[in-house]
Chains A and B, each alone.
Chain A
Amino acid sequence: MGELQFQNRRDFLKYFLGSAAVLSGFTVGANEIVNEKKVKKLVILYTNDQHSRIEPFPENDPKYAGQGGFSRRAAFIKQLRKENENVLLLDAGDIFQGTPYFNFYKGELEYKLMSQMGYDAVTLGNHDFDLGVENIVTQMPHANFSFINCNYNFSDTALTGKILPYKIFKKNGIKIGVLGVGIELEGLVEKKLFSSIKYNNPLDCANNTAHHLKNNLQCDYVICLSHLGYKYDSKKVSDIILAEQSKNIDLVIGGHTHTFLNEPVKHTNSEGKEVLITQVGWAGIWLGKIELFFSDTNKKVFHNPNNQKI
């Protein structure tokens, strides 16, 4: 048996990491390891509570004159995609309701335009049910993105099998788990509209799903799309309560309360780890952006053997 000969450690790594990639489905190829590109970047773009604001606010609007609009957002997103290879585009619910576009077209145009913009996933807000569960099903063929929620039980409704509890996106070798939670619909949406959707505790559902994503499916980062609302004076479950009682969630992209957060707010989860909460108001006035930079710990072993971060 011929002994394997390696000119140097670099060749050795190249060889074995190549094998490891084949054997374990490890997605980082040897070439990536060897070249000097140490950092992997992912750009997350997001909106919440778009409320059918297809066109910018009219010029006589007392607060937001001329702001927002799908067309302007689409141009921005196109530009950002040119500058960044790896983009994830998400929405935290309440896509529907607020302008005549929804009264006349029932959400068809919103879904069509979001599909053109390349949205990857959305969660459901209470106003998405304003024309009933059936209407969401009717409009879904216009959407080529995923609908994500893990705390509504849709099994007795027309939405059964059409909503995912979570979805994993692999971008540039980064494994991102996205889950979604929604607000209690009872008392907020007329019963006949949300029919027999059962509401389960969003904290339990989010934690169970996030545990599965992080520990069983080995996601590098877990995002929770939430339509619970940022915070309340009462004890009503909010993004802050969710973040502080969570495990395995890295980022909460929120909605419902139309809160403009200038920057993501840091909270500490039940294990003492940092969770970010973000929300960008409503009506597409802002487009949120979070850039994630990952370092490959393997490369650090190779490049900086005396300077490892553990």
Chain B
Amino acid sequence: MKRFLKYSVVLLILLSACKQSLKLSHTEHSHYELKSGREDSLTSATISPYKNKIDAQMNEVIAMCDSTLTKDGYESTLANFVMQAMDHFVAEKSPNYQGKSIAIVNRGGLRINLPKGEISVRTIYELMPFDNNIVILTISGKALKEALVSFGENGKLFSNNIAFYLDKKNPINIQVFGKDWNENENYIIITTDYLANGGDNCFFFENPLKSESTGVKLRDAIIDYCKYLTNLNKRIVPYKNGRITVSK
């Protein structure tokens, strides 16, 4: 009996410990960089019919690119290329706005760097996977200024056809097509419905003076522009024109 009591004490300790029976002693961590290694046959077999159905369309080479375009910096070679495609779209489809429209795209919307060499339809899908449509907005000079202020603050947007100086992130000396920005003037913006609807916190686009939808996806406009360049025997060439200068 004495022994039973002795064990009962142990039992009590045990039961009280049962509530939190497991104690984390330590953790170990690592990660695998999936650069090589064999492939799983079941997974490959599942992918195969999906892949085969789209490969012919996706593998079509539509342009050649001279060197890698990236989205680094306030003015980037990648965004400049995309905005050239948007300018081309305006020239072809809305020529009344040609030479007047400012293209605006967001950094987060450009998903890969454009590689050097062959550019296929797949590359452009990966650059611009979103099914965003091009829209043409008319906005006030004030709203345009707000867009540039936001640009200065977070660098989320890219624009073309506007030159300015970022004085401690604040845009000054703003020139649109070489003319001084005017608060009382209205401006034509070519952008995506995503941004026009306030995406990426583009609140300044939410109440435009006028909004025209085009029904054309930005991705398709880029694909068209690639084919257009190739038809002219031109290659994609990185360029910057230094329209944005920044204080130190």
Contacts and interface: CB of A to CB of B under 8 A. Distances in A.
Contact of B47 (A3, A76, A113): A113
Contacts of B30: 289
A70 B10 contact: no
A300 to B, nearest CB: 8
Interface string A1-44: 00110100100110011001000101010000000000110000
A218 B24 contact: no
Contacts of A309: 23
Nearest to A54: B47
B20 interface: yes
B232 interface: no
Contacts of B35: 66-67
A164 B125 CA distance: 33
A297 B23 contact: yes
Most buried by A among B13, B47, B123, B200: B47
Interface in B165-224: 193-194, 197-201, 203
A103 B125 contact: yes
Interface in A263-310: 263-264, 276, 278, 280, 284-298, 301, 309
B93 to A, nearest CB: 22
Interface string A56-74: 0010111100111111111
Interface stretch (A144-152, A184-192, A203-211, A239-247): A184-192
B29 to A, nearest CB: 5
Contacts of A175: 22
A309 B22 CA distance: 12
Contact of A12 (B10, B46, B53, B193): B10
A109 interface: yes
A141 interface: no
Contact of B200 (A101, A104, A187, A284): A187
Contacts of A160: none
Q: Chain A interface: which size bin?
A: 35 or more
Contacts of A69: 34, 39
Contacts of A66: 35-36
A304 to B, nearest CB: 13
Given A98-B111, A103-B125, A294 B14 contact: no
Contacts of A221: 24
B33 A67 contact: yes
B116 A75 contact: no
A187 B43 contact: no
B59 to A, nearest CB: 10
Contact of A60 (B10, B117, B199): B117
B31 A287 contact: yes
Interface string B123-137: 101100111000000
B23 A74 contact: no
Given A24-B18, A295-B23, A298-B21, A75 B38 contact: yes
Specify the main secondary structure of chain B where it touches its partner: mixed
B51 A103 contact: no
Contacts of B24: 220-221, 250, 292-294
A31 to B, nearest CB: 15
Contacts of B197: 190-191
Interface in A178-215: 187-191
A102 interface: yes
B145 to A, nearest CB: 20
A54 B48 CA distance: 11
A20 B17 CA distance: 12
A157 interface: no
Given A16-B11, A296-B21, A188 B199 contact: yes
B220 to A, nearest CB: 11
Nearest to A292: B27
A174 B21 CA distance: 10
A134 B157 CA distance: 30
Contacts of B13: 301
Contacts of A113: 43, 46-47
Given A4-B4, A60-B116, A74-B43, A286 B23 contact: no
A76 B113 contact: no
Contact of B54 (A98, A100, A173, A298): A100
Given A66-B36, A292-B24, 9 more contacts: A60-B116, A76-B34, A97-B129, A98-B129, A264-B29, A286-B33, A287-B32, A294-B22, A296-B23
6 A-B pairs closest in CB distance: A74-B40, A71-B39, A75-B40, A74-B43, A71-B43, A60-B115
14 contacts: A4-B4, A16-B11, A62-B115, A71-B40, A71-B47, A72-B34, A98-B111, A102-B129, A113-B46, A174-B22, A188-B200, A278-B29, A293-B28, A309-B23
Interface of A: 3-4, 6, 9, 12-13, 16-17, 20, 24, 26, 28, 39-40, 51-52, 54-55, 58, 60-63, 66-76, 78, 97-105, 109, 112-113, 116-117, 130, 173-175, 187-191, 218, 220-221, 250, 262-264, 276, 278, 280, 284-298, 301, 309
